[in-house]
């Protein structure tokens, strides 16, 4: 069969990795795909002499590539929302299949893009959009298709995980580690997407849609960053037998779907609690299989390129199949997506870690315990650090049993109104991930 011709939009880190992998492993990829894959054109803003593009047509206009009648598959690797959306929709309109690593595009505009792709009978593949080289989308969409997925939880941003690992292992402050992460290229000059959980929420939105058969609803995801964490919180968590991770959690409940990203205490003996540095991991719990764990490099040139090329091979294999018999974009048939509501964070249930700065006066602990008891909140463990008294204040650390968030918010407000409590109460969620 004649080779499939592809065009690559963007030759940055992932684009360069994709070019390298396609060239280096051409023979192996052909054997897997059943036919050759030829890079016919690349669209870049400026020349990239570090890459060998001999024999490939180059252009600075992405729409020249998208409108090229010789191109069968467009690989979108430019990122962002606006131009990427425009070129992807144009490629679909032109009857071309699309492979993308753009999690923001899929999380925000995926419903529209997939509808247009179904209309045109083309594939939009996006494995590389979540967790880099870890094939977690394929695992959930195909490998776990026999299961009713109960919940999933993931460390899906390497920057945040690197920062929390350094804070725990070396006792460094958040701001100090962030500067190093920026110097190493792990974090952008503006790190908001990483440290405030927005990047992870994009990925969690995609995973939840595939796991539960619901439309993409990024605007309903709850996000909370790691900027307020202190080394004291990291150390207290450790003393209680936990590790703090910036976790994305999607859980099916009778009331609806929990969709949340926030710092979370996880028991230190869980495998996912021991995922360190810039590595990623996703736990998925199904009713038949139980808990499964997917671990690997969540970013980087060739790990992400691995996922891009795997998608490319899947598309090439599917070129001759009836579009109605292909694996659905969001795992479930489009007319079978459910309308389960996404719960607000106040409706979500979790256990909680509370750090209270209390005056070293008799009765403060009793008042705090009374506030929790009145609201039906049970205490699992408590720790007071008198040796760490500073300016007459003693840290009081509590871990509660599971409770709806609205009740813990009400309890915290009552605690902060006490004469014996100063400064805001620090609240973190605790997940056992059994």
Instruction: Give domain limits for the chain.
Output: 2-132+299-317, 135-295, 347-428
Strand partners, 399: 353, 381
Of 372, 349, 387, 399, the closest CA to residue 237 belongs to: 399
With H, G, I as helix, E, B as strand and everything else as coil, classify residue 399: strand
Strand partners, 296: 280
Of 301, 318, 303, the closest CA to residue 98 belongs to: 318
Of 61, 55, 67, the closest CA to residue 19 belongs to: 55
Residues within the annotated binding site for NADPH? 103
The whole-model pTM stands at 0.94
Strand partners, 429: 264, 352
Q: What is the pLDDT of residue 388?
A: 63
Strand ranges, E, within 191-253:
222-223, 242-252
Q: What is the pLDDT of residue 333?
A: 85
Which of 85, 96, 138, 203 is the catalytic position?
203
CA gap 291, 197 in Å, rounded = 24
Q: What is the pLDDT of residue 335?
A: 86
Angle of helix 26-33 relative to helix 13-24, nearest 10 degrees, comes to 80
> Residue 54 burial by CB count (10 A; 0-12/13-18/19+): exposed, middle or buried?
exposed
Contact 213, 267 (CB under 8 A): no
Of 57, 65, 56, the closest CA to residue 83 belongs to: 65
Residues within the annotated binding site for NADP(+)? 9-16
Cβ neighbours around 45 below 10 Å, total: 12
203 carries an active-site annotation? yes
Query: Which two three-digit tokens encode residue 4?
Result: 């499939």
Q: What is the pLDDT of residue 422?
A: 84
CA gap 137, 134 in Å, rounded = 8
Residues of the chain falling short of pLDDT 70? 385-391
Write the DSSP symbol of residue 53.
-
Q: What is the pLDDT of residue 188?
A: 85
CA gap 230, 401 in Å, rounded = 23
Report pLDDT digits (tens) over 247-283.
Answer: 999 999 999 999 999 999 999 999 999 999 999 999 9
Domain 2-132+299-317 top-level CATH class: alpha beta
Query: Which two three-digit tokens encode residue 219?
Result: 């605007």
Q: What is the pLDDT of residue 363?
A: 87
With H, G, I as helix, E, B as strand and everything else as coil, classify residue 197: coil
Strand ranges, E, within 173-289:
222-223, 242-252, 257-267, 279-286
Domain 135-295 fold is Dihydrodipicolinate Reductase; domain 2 (3.30.360)
CA gap 48, 11 in Å, rounded = 8
Stretch (H or E) spanning 31 = helix 26-33
Cβ neighbours around 26 below 10 Å, total: 14
Contact 312, 164 (CB under 8 A): no
Residues within the annotated binding site for L-homoserine? 188
Pick the CATH number of 347-428 from 3.30.70.260, 3.60.40.10, 2.40.170.20, 3.40.50.920: 3.30.70.260
CA gap 208, 330 in Å, rounded = 9
Residues within the annotated binding site? 9-16, 103, 188
């Amino acid at each position: 069969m004649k080779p499939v011709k592809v065009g690559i939009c963007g030759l940055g880190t992932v684009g360069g990795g994709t070019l390298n992998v396609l060239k280096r492993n051409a023979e192996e990829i052909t054997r897997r795909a059943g036919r050759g894959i030829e890079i016919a054109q690349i669209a870049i803003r400026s020349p990239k002499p570090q890459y060998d593009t001999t024999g490939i047509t180059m252009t600075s206009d992405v729409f020249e590539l998208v409108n090229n009648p010789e191109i069968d598959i467009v690989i979108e690797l430019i990122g962002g929302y606006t131009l990427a959306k425009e070129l992807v929709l144009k490629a679909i309109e032109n009857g071309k299949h699309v492979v993308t690593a753009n999690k923001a595009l899929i999380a925000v505009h995926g419903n529209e893009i997939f509808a247009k792709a179904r209309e045109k009978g083309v594939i939009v593949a996006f494995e590389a959009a979540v967790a880099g080289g870890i094939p977690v989308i394929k695992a959930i969409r195909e490998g776990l298709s026999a299961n009713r997925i109960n919940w999933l939880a993931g460390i899906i941003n390497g920057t945040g995980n690197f920062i929390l690992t350094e804070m725990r292992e070396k006792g460094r402050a958040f701001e100090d580690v962030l500067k190093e992460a920026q110097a190493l290229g792990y974090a952008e000059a503006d790190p908001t997407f990483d440290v405030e959980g927005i990047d992870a929420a994009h990925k969690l939105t995609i995973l939840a849609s595939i796991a539960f058969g619901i439309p993409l609803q990024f605007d309903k995801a709850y996000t909370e960053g790691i900027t307020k964490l202190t080394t004291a919180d990291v150390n207290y968590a450790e003393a209680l037998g936990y590790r703090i991770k910036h976790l994305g959690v999607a859980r099916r409940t009778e009331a609806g779907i929990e969709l949340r990203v926030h710092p979370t205490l996880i028991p230190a003996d869980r495998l996912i609690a021991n995922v360190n540095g810039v590595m990623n991991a996703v736990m998925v719990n199904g009713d038949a299989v139980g808990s499964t764990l997917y671990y690997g490099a969540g970013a980087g040139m060739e790990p992400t390129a691995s996922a891009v090329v795997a998608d490319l091979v899947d598309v090439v294999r599917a070129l001759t199949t009836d579009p109605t018999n292909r694996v659905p974009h969001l795992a479930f048939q489009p007319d079978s997506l459910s309308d389960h509501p996404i719960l607000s964070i106040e409706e979500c249930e979790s256990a909680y870690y509370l750090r209270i700065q209390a005056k070293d006066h008799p009765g403060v602990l009793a008042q705090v315990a009374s506030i929790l008891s009145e609201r039906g909140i049970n205490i699992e463990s408590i720790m007071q650090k008198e040796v760490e008294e500073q300016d007459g204040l003693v840290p009081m650390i509590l871990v509660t049993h599971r409770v709806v968030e609205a009740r813990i918010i009400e309890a915290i407000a009552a605690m902060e109104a006490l004469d014996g409590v100063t400064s805001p109460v620090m609240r973190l969620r605790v997940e056992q991930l059994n």
